[in-house]
């Protein structure tokens, strides 16, 4: 340490700079990443690690728990245990039940806490510490977008879980990210015709919108599609995400001349706002000579459960429902129910499908390299996953499939039987151009293999 | 040397050595062993240790020295992060301008908040800072969406201008770098079954944390630090002696705000995203916990506290039931289930519970935090030879927050 006190002599400066030069040159010798063609290459190992990054605490913990159940089921099926679930109905037969490319599937789990920062930290530790080759999960668009960007930067594949905002495959789309779930635009497009049949073309709508990204895109989507069939939007009010009592937002609805209330809320928000709206007697109200109606664009069984009897007769849309009668859905419900004793939610379904789709893409591409996976998934058409014929569009990595319009059941037979399917909107009706204004602005970029 | 007394010099040397060797110290278990689960030597977590260390050191300058308990420090971290990301978006992917702007913006914002909040002291001050932080959070979350990108968080895009750099390289966003040295890059050392990751990003953070630590040592020992301690001891007495405490508290507030800004800037330098949750009250509370857990008013305490909390958050939250079953696989089935059932609430999503219990134990039994625990431990061994002297020493340096 005595060196520091002395004035630097020419000799010590030379010595120092030599050492510094050597230190900078070192990394190029030792960089181990250079030998692999892509990040976290399992190489000759007998196992491969997937990262399941789901909310285990916070407002979407219920969805997260169900997602994790679905992932564990998917891992079982991939490794050839259990009854195989949707692997038997899946149109691609690349998966053989011997893991992925013969490697046994292992997994690590993490808690996103429904916070972008925590989700990224958890995903990063999976990538850096556990060597995860793919990250999947999440129950919020903010988290999905944040983790998707991280995976793009790091060079692993991201298979989004439940994320409904247009932006995930719109302005924030990434080459390494894929979404099976439907989006706000599709909800709007699927709901509009059903609403037209049920409530007519001359309606005045009042929107209550959760004040964050997903709320905005959902409001925009529903507004655009209802306005194009002749509805008028009276007012759109943003409500804070942390709001638990919506009475102060419902009172102005009573004073307006609206005859439809659209609740662009999700999770606990929707449970509370809908309950408030029903308590204020909106459902018994008659406005402009018509019955007052309430609409919830994005429905989930877990939400319906929270809102109880209030959901009866209320329209909404959903990605999948366990009461679907196709072979694939039946097989999935069967194997999920056998393992856990109750039917899966739509979050569980999309996560299970995403895990299988990833494994299948690796098998078909013959490599874990993210670029090979991207190539295998882009433009991939498949069937037998519970949503009918589905396309993974190459332009934005969004799945295009039928969308379900559902209604709260009048006489539920069990605590899981809360929604009934009103209509299966065909895929053609919810398809949009990749440069649609609601999705414009982003670029996919190119796939990043990490190394 | 370096303007430190010999005791602080030793402490600083130890901190330097530990910081530089962290990738080795934090990875004590071989890669393929069962215990590798507890290794913390991967880049992201090491960076977090350093970054939150800086955050807590800065907070300690305010809370540990003046006794002013700010419940809104996360706001400065957030402001710093947003400033940093904007620099990365607009200027270049070099982290230096981003970090500088983070510190400046956080400093300005803390000047504003401090000027208003410091008109009151005690609980009123805490509430005022909390209010400011929640306000910033709410603004960032919704009203200021064009600047902050709301709930999604501000992130880089392929079409950002980056005037001094490039917008994209082959369809990818260029990585953050320090004059060409990529933050996420590094090299791995495989020594037998051990794999150590030496990451450039971490070493940049390490340099900053050492600088921050050194500065805080100098502040602690300076006449300015003495003034701050006087404010903590008796605020009403000071004006009677002809001193005006206002400028001192404000200076301490701004300095700690700039530390928070530095932490925010480093955060985006390592991972270019700024989310609004960074400013939420829970984040402000976390830094308070870190400081108290480690030992408020001590030099080393905040650094240790930050390490403990981040370790729990990142390591314990990732232990799941499957791993537990592996650990107890040597037991008979029934017993295995019992043990897993007993431990289950404390791992995975239950890490908050474990941390909470530990925090309670520390506050009840070691009011001076982890540092006091360490000192008591040392005293056990020293009592034999020079008992009275060292215990006096410890009592002086441990002096916890009231």
pLDDT at A6 (0 to 100)? 47
Name which of B153, B168, B189, B353 to mutate to probe chain A: the one with the most chain A Cβ atoms within 10 A of its Cβ: B153
Q: Is residue A407 part of a domain?
A: no
Q: Which residues of A touch B157 (CB under 8 A)?
A: 442-443
Q: Is A195 in the same domain as A108?
A: no
Tokens coding B267: 């955060």
Residue A406: burial class (beta carbons within 10 Å; 0-12, 13-18, 19+) = buried
E strands within B192-244?
194-199
Burial (0-12, 13-18, 19+ Cβ within 10 Å), A51:
buried
What element of type H or E holds A106? strand A104-111
| B221 within a domain of the structure (yes/no) | yes
CATH of the domain at B174: 1.10.3470
- Would you list the DSSP string of A338-363? HHHSS---HHHHHHHHHHHHHHHHHH
How does residue A17 score in pLDDT terms, banded at 50, 70 and 90?
low
What 3-state class would DSSP assign to A154? helix
User: Minimum mean pLDDT among A76-80, A99-103, A430-434, B146-150: which range?
Assistant: B146-150
Clarify whether residues A204 and A163 are in a common domain.
no
The rounded percent of chain B whose pLDDT value lies above 70 is 95
What is the residue-averaged pLDDT of chain B?
A: 89
Query: In the Cβ-directed half-sphere of A388, how many Cα atoms lie within 13 Å?
Result: 15
Q: pLDDT digit string (tens) for A96-135?
A: 999 999 999 999 998 888 888 889 999 999 999 999 999 9
Residues A301, A351, single domain; the answer is: no
A6 lies in which domain range?
A: 2-35
The answer to whether residue A327 sits within a structural domain is yes
Looking at A318, A339, A361, which one is the last position of a domain?
A318
In a domain, A415, yes or no: no
Residues from chain B contacting residue A174 (CB–CB below 8 Å): none
B170 touches chain A (CB under 8 A): yes
Q: What local confidence, expressed as pLDDT, does residue A16 receive? A: 56
Strands (E), B138-286: 154-155, 177-178, 181-182, 186-191, 194-199, 273-274
In a domain, A447, yes or no: no
pLDDT tops 90 at residue B192? no
Interface of A with B in 27-46 (CB under 8 A): 27, 30-33
Instruction: Reply yes or no on whether the pLDDT at A360 is more than 90.
Output: yes
Which pLDDT value is given to residue A3?
A: 43
> A445, B45: Cβ pair inside 8 Å?
no
Q: Which two tokens mark B69?
A: 């308990």
In a domain, B47, yes or no: yes
| Confidence check: pLDDT of A380 > 70 | yes
The dihedral sign for the CA sequence A359, A365, A366, A369: negative
Alpha-carbon span B19 to B17, nearest angstrom? 5
Within-domain flag for B1: no
In a domain, A440, yes or no: no
Measure in Å the smallest separation between the Cα of A200 and chain B Cα atoms. 34
What's the CATH code of the domain at A296?
3.40.50.2300
Instruction: Please give the mean pLDDT across all residues of chain A.
Output: 89
Tell me what pLDDT residue B385 has.
54
**Residue B361 in domain:** no
Residue B399's pLDDT is what?
46
Buried b (16+ CB within 10 A) or exposed e, A227-247: eeeebebbebebbebebeebe
Show contacts of B367-370: CB within 8 Å, 24+ apart: B367/B400, B368/B295, B368/B298, B368/B301, B368/B398, B368/B399, B368/B400, B369/B292, B369/B293, B369/B294, B369/B295, B369/B296, B369/B298, B369/B301, B369/B304, B369/B305, B369/B400, B370/B293, B370/B294, B370/B295, B370/B301, B370/B304, B370/B305, B370/B308
Residue A103 touches partner B, C-beta closer than 8 Å: no
Q: Is A40 a member of any domain?
A: no
- Do residue A176 and residue A63 come from a single domain? yes
Please, which residues 220-249 of chain B have a Cβ atom closer than 8 Å to chain A? none
Residue A23 in this model has a pLDDT that exceeds 70: no
Work out how many CB contacts closer than 8 A connect A with B: 140
Let me know: does A321 contact A406? Beta carbons within 8 Å.
yes
Q: In angstroms, how far is CA B320 from the centroid of its own chain?
A: 26
d(Cα A218, Cα A237) in Å, to the nearest integer?
13
Both A277 and A355 in one domain: the answer is no
| β-bridge partners, A324 | none
* Chain B residue at shortest CA distance from A108: B318
- Dump pLDDT digits (tens) for A202-250: 999 999 999 888 899 999 999 999 999 999 999 999 998 778 899 999 9
Residue A19 has pLDDT above 80, yes or no: no
Q: Is the dihedral of CA B310, A355, A164, A268 positive or negative?
A: negative
Asked, for residue B247, whether it belongs to a domain, the answer is yes
Residue A410 lies in a domain: no
Give A199→chain B minimum CA distance, Å.
33
**pLDDT of the residue at B388:** 46
Residues A15 and A113 occupy one common structural domain:
no
End position of a domain, from candidates A285, A318, A351: A318
pTM attached to this predicted model: 0.88
Same domain, A295 and A211: yes
Cβ contact A128–B43 (<8 Å): yes
Regarding whether A350 and A307 lie in a shared domain, the answer is no
Structural domain span for residue B62: 42-317
Sign of the CA dihedral running B114, B118, B120, B121: positive
Do A67 and A117 share a structural domain?
yes
pLDDT 10s digits, A85-104: 999 999 999 999 999 999 99
Chain A CB within 8 Å of residue B300 CB = no
Residue A443 confidence (pLDDT) above 70: yes
Higher-pLDDT residue of B375, A11: B375
Percent of chain A with pLDDT over 70: 92
- Whether B22 and B199 have beta carbons less than 8 Å apart is answered as no
Q: Which residue of A has its CA nearest to B43?
A: A128
Rounded to a whole number of angstroms, the distance from the CA of A344 to the nearest CA of chain B is 21
Token readout for A2 is: 């005595």
For residues A376 and A287, state if they share a domain.
no
Q: Does A371 touch chain B (CB under 8 A)?
A: no
CB proximity list for A121: less than 8 A, separation 6 or greater:
B44, B48, B313, B314
The vertex-B67 CA angle with B63 and B68, nearest 5°, equals 75
B150 burial via Cβ count (<10 Å: 0-12, 13-18, 19+): buried
Question: Which residues, including other chains, have CB under 8 Å from residue B218's CB and lie 6 or more apart?
Answer: B3, B4
Which DSSP helix (H) or strand (E) runs through A248? helix A247-255
Residue B29 to residues A123, B25, B35, B43, B264, Cα–Cα distance (Å) = 22, 10, 6, 16, 31
- How many structural domains is chain B composed of? 1
Note the pLDDT of residue A14: 58
Cα–Cα distance for residue pair A40/B76, rounded to 1 Å: 36
Residue in B closest to A140 by C-alpha: B152
Question: If pLDDT is split at 50, 70 and 90, which confidence band does B279 have?
Answer: very high
Burial class (CB within 10 angstroms; exposed 0-12, middle 13-18, buried 19+) of B123: exposed
Domain count for chain A, please give it: 3
Q: How many helices (H) and strands (E) does chain A have?
A: 14, 17
Higher-confidence position of A20 and B162: B162
- Note whether residue B208 is domain-resident: yes
- Domain contains B393: no
**In this complex, do A154 and B45 lie within 8 Å of one another by their Cβ atoms?**
no
Same domain for A246 and A129 = no
Query: Mind listing the pLDDT tens digit for each residue in B292-311?
Result: 999 999 999 999 999 999 99
What's the pLDDT score for residue B151? 80
CB-CB under 8 Å, B349 with A443: no
Over residues B241-270, the pLDDT tens digits come to: 998 999 999 999 999 999 999 999 999 999
Give the ipTM of the model, two decimals please: 0.85
Residue B138 lies in a domain: yes
pLDDT (tens digit, 9 = 90+) per residue, A150-163?
999 999 999 999 99
A280 in the same domain as A154: no
Question: How do strand A286-287 and strand A290-291 relate by DSSP bridges?
Answer: antiparallel
Task: Average the pLDDT over B152-166 and give the result.
Answer: 88
Looking up tokens 């000799």 gives A11
Residues of B in contact with A110 (CB under 8 A): 317-318
Q: What is the mean pLDDT of residues B31-45?
A: 87
């Amino acid at each position: 340490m005595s060196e520091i006190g002395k004035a630097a002599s020419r000799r010590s400066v030379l010595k120092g700079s030599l050492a510094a030069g050597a230190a900078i040159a070192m990394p190029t010798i030792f960089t181990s990443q250079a030998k692999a063609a892509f990040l976290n290459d399992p190489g000759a190992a007998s196992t491969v690690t997937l990262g399941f990054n789901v909310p285990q605490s916070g407002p979407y913990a219920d969805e997260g728990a169900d997602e994790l159940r679905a992932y564990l089921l998917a891992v079982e099926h991939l490794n050839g245990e259990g009854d195989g679930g949707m692997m038997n109905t899946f149109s691609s037969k690349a998966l053989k039940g011997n893991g992925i490319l013969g490697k046994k599937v292992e997994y690590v789990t993490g808690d996103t806490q429904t916070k972008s920062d925590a989700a990224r930290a958890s995903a990063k530790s999976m990538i850096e510490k556990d060597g995860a080759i793919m990250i999947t999960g999440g129950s919020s668009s903010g988290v999905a977008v944040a983790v998707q960007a991280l995976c793009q930067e790091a060079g692993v594949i991201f298979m989004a879980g439940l994320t409904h905002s247009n932006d995930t495959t719109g302005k924030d789309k990434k080459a390494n990210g894929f979404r099976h779930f439907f989006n706000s635009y599709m909800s709007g497009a699927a709901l509009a015709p059903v609403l037209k049949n049920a409530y007519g073309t001359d309606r005045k709508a009042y929107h209550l919108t959760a004040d964050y990204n997903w709320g905005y895109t959902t409001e925009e989507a529903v507004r655009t599609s209802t306005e194009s069939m002749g509805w008028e939007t009276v007012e759109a009010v943003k409500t804070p995400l942390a709001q638990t009592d919506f009475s102060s937002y419902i009172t102005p609805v009573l004073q307006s001349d609206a005859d439809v209330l659209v609740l662009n809320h999700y999770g606990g928000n929707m449970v509370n706002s809908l309950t408030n709206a029903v308590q204020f007697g909106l459902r018994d109200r008659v406005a402009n000579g018509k019955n007052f109606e309430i609409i919830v664009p994005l429905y989930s069984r877990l939400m319906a459960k929270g809102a109880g009897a209030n959901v009866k007769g209320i329209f909404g849309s959903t990605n999948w429902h366990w009461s679907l009668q196709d072979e694939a859905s039946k097989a999935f419900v069967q194997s999920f129910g056998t393992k856990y004793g109750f039917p899966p939610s739509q979050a569980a379904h999309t996560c299970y499908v995403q895990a299988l789709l990833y494994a299948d893409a690796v098998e078909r591409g013959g490599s874990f390299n993210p670029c090979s996976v991207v190539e295998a998934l882009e433009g991939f058409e498949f069937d037998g996953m519970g949503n009918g014929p589905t396309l993974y569009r190459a332009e934005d990595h969004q799945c295009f499939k039928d969308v379900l319009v559902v209604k709260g059941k009048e006489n539920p037979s069990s605590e899981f039987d809360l929604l009934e399917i009103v209509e299966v909107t065909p895929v053609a009706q919810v398809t949009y151009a990749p440069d649609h204004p609601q999705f414009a602005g982003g670029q996919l970029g190119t796939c990043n293999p990490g190394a | 040397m370096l303007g430190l007394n010999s005791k602080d010099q030793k402490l600083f040397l130890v901190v330097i050595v530990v910081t530089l060797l962290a990738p080795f110290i934090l990875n004590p278990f071989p890669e393929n062993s069962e215990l590798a689960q507890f290794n913390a030597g991967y880049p992201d977590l090491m960076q977090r240790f350093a970054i939150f260390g800086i955050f807590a050191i800065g907070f300690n300058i305010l809370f540990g020295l003046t006794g002013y308990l700010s419940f809104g420090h996360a706001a400065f971290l957030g402001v710093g992060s947003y400033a940093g990301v904007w620099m990365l978006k607009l200027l270049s992917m070099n982290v230096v301008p981003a970090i500088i702007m983070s510190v400046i913006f956080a400093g300005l914002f803390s000047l504003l908040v401090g000027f208003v909040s410091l008109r009151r002291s005690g609980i009123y001050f805490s509430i005022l800072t909390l209010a400011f932080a929640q306000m910033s959070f709410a603004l960032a979350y919704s009203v200021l969406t064009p600047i902050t990108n709301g709930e999604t968080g501000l992130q880089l895009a392929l079409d950002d201008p980056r005037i001094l750099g490039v917008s994209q390289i082959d369809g990818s966003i260029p990585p953050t770098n320090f004059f060409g040295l990529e933050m996420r890059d590094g090299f791995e050392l495989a020594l037998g079954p051990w794999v150590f990751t030496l990451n450039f990003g971490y070493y940049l953070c390490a340099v900053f944390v050492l600088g921050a630590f050194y500065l805080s040592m100098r502040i602690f020992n300076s006449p300015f630090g003495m003034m701050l301690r006087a404010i903590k001891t008796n605020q009403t007495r000071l004006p009677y002696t002809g001193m005006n405490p206002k400028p001192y508290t404000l200076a301490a507030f701004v300095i700690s705000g700039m530390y928070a800004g530095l932490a925010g800037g480093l955060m985006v330098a390592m991972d270019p995203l700024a989310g609004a949750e960074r400013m939420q009250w829970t984040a402000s509370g976390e830094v308070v916990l870190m400081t108290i857990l480690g030992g408020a008013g001590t030099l080393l305490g905040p650094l240790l506290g930050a390490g403990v909390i981040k370790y729990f958050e990142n390591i314990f939250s990732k232990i799941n039931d499957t791993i537990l079953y592996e650990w107890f696989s040597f037991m008979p089935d029934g017993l295995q289930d019992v043990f897993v059932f007993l431990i289950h609430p404390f791992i995975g999503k239950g890490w908050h519970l474990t941390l909470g219990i530990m925090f309670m134990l520390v506050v009840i039994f070691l009011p001076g935090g982890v540092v006091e625990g360490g000192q008591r431990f040392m005293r056990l061994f020293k009592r034999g030879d020079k008992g009275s002297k060292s215990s006096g020493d410890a009592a002086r340096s441990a002096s916890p927050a009231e």
